[in-house]
Amino acid sequence: MFNKRYFGKGKEDGGPGKEEEEHVESLFTVLKHINSFILSDYVPWLRPLDLEGHEKIVSEAMRILNGYHDPIVDERLKQWIEGKKKKPEDLLDAFILAKDSNGKPALSVEEIKAQCTELILATIDNPSNAAEWAMAEMLNKPEILQKATEEIDSVVGKNRLVQETDIPKLNYIKCCARESFRLHPIAPFNIPHVSNSDATAAGYFIPKGSHVLIGRRGMNPNIWDEPLVFKPERHLKDGWGSGGVELIENELRFISFGVGRRGCIGAGLGSVVTIMLFARLIQGFTWDAPPNETEIDLSESKDDLFLAKPLHALAKPRLPDALYTQLEC
């Protein structure tokens, strides 16, 4: 978004610092409450009471996020106005330079700030969750991990890192990510929607004004063979087109980023982030379960659909040393 990588200030290992940890924690706080139940959504006059305390929590999280984002946006705008910046390099620049049909700025400063936060929120949870679950499942099935590694070696080799231009050819990698989205979505339901007219969908009559929740998991045995088993091969099929396998599920047999007019605005970016993160982890290292553990515990958390225990694995470099200075997963 901002064309800058942030490392922990003063930390010897270059790991996340206080600012990064606070930023990510605030992002996930907002995302958690987007999907939570709140009574005032159904009884609006209760909203001023904030019975669950959600509004206070989210307001504080947004205050922290805006405190990090807004100065970056303001400084970048100043650079363009003063002529210190002349070439667009990231999404923030694209928002600043966007013009309407009359050649005027398409977005106000507040709209630019909102779009930046919206896209960051839209792309942080799905990719990280999908990559972690996929790695956990594949560590328990070494033959799948080996097949994914061989595909990367065949398409990319070991003398350079996976690039975005390689993604159309990494179909098995994308199948593994799709299977992770199918089995382990970030939340059990899609964000609530309200029908603005009477409609019939999938054989169900939906009256105007209905709140609609769509299940994200692809567990229906009438649609999926062995629905509880991690089987990436199930997604290999003809008819994907020149770009190969896609992470978006257009037939809604499960939900990754959603589809249609109300689909996730960050679906394209989220797909790229997911595959780049996932593919570089597999390309860069050989992976094994931690010492004294025969397999990874795939239990779900009691409060959400994340792994109950954060994934720990043993990684050993498998590429030339010089490439690891470029590996930014």
From the annotation, which residues make up the binding site? 264
Distance, CA of 250 to chain centre: 18
Cα angle at 222 between 221 and 228, to 5 degrees?
15
The binding site for heme comprises 264
Beta-bridged to residue 193, according to DSSP, are 212
Beta-bridged to residue 201, according to DSSP, are 204
Tokens standing for 54? 């959600």
DSSP character string of 22-51 = HHHHHHHHHHHHHTS--GGGTSGGGGGG-T
Distance, CA of 300 to chain centre: 18
Q: What's the rounded Cα separation, in Å, for the pair 311 and 76?
A: 37
Q: What's the rounded Cα separation, in Å, for the pair 212 and 210?
A: 6
Tokens standing for 279? 């593919």
